[in-house]
Structure 1
Amino acid sequence: MTFQPRGFDFLKDVDVRLTVELGSTSMKLKDVLGLGEESVVMLDRMTDELLDVMVNGKLIARGEVVAQGDRFGLRIVELLGSEPDVAAPAPAPRKATKGDAG
């Protein structure tokens, strides 16, 4: 029996972990141990910044939180690596020379 995958279709059923990072901060352990139910931890991200979307720890996209019914969701706003390629500038027109047909 020969295994002949069609492109990467055979990988589509592999489980991966998708995580969304709201923000982060550095704290001393004594401050972490002092956290309680009413504690507020300030994060390094502003409220209007997009959230990082990662698959198995690798950043793949950025998005924003949405609410759908009584659940949170994520709207993908930007996929990394999907920016349109910057087109190379067109070559400057060549000046006609004596031997060119006009």
Structure 2
Amino acid sequence: MTYVVTENCIQCKYTDCAEVCPVECFHEGPNFLVIDPVECIDCAACVPECPADAIFADDEVPPDQRDFTAINAELARDWPVILRKKAALPDAETWNGKGDKRPLLRRS
């Protein structure tokens, strides 16, 4: 099992999760974080730290978010590792909880 960052992280990009991760499995893109499924050790330390409630065990990802399992694996290959907490995006609170953010995902 691994953990997956889902749609609610888009446009928020809180990084509290990366700070508590005991391995280097979080990767940072312009407006989203992903988890590398190869590096994730299934410790679940990140789940309670996510202010956006955007991280799920891969077998608990909501049905309408399951495509994020593949998105995490794909983007983790290209994006750099993030190890420390950074400020969230400036309008993160405005975006937290809004749906239909897939079109806003910036891959580069």
* Shorter-chain TM-score above 0.5: no
Structure of greater relative contact order (alpha carbons < 8 Å, 6+ residues apart): 2
Could you tell me the TM-score, scaled by structure 1's length? 0.20
Bigger Rg over Cα: 1
The answer to which structure has the higher strand fraction is 1
Could you tell me the TM-score, scaled by structure 2's length? 0.19
The answer to which structure has the higher helix fraction is 2
